[in-house]
Amino acid sequence: MAKKWGHQVKNWMTKHMELPQDVMMDLPRITMIGQIHIYIENHRGLLAFSDKEVRLLLKQGQLLVKGKAFVIKTILPEEIMLEGKIDQVIYVND
């Protein structure tokens, strides 16, 4: 019951206080510049990294980024910035 109530409070706050949904609903925020940069905020951790694939843990599921020549430009506990050629960004629901 408390979990359902908490979700309702978040929805109300998002709607009435004009707060961004990604903040209130604990969603990832993804910003891409063309196919060369991707900045991902609000993830739960780096699961896998190679020069062709990055897998991040989300609150619900995972985020898979596929491409070529990936280099991590910035990495913080809940933020990552990749540079390379981005071909796909895929949500994986487990």
What's the CA gap between 12 and 52, in Å, rounded?
A: 40
What are 3-52's pLDDT values in tens digits? 566 666 666 666 666 655 545 568 899 999 999 999 999 999 999 999 99
Instruction: Spell out the domains of the chain, with CATH numbers in brackets.
Output: 26-92 (2.60.40.2000)
What's the pTM value of the predicted model, to 2 decimals?
Answer: 0.75
The pLDDT of residue 54 is above 70: yes
- pLDDT score, position 61: 95
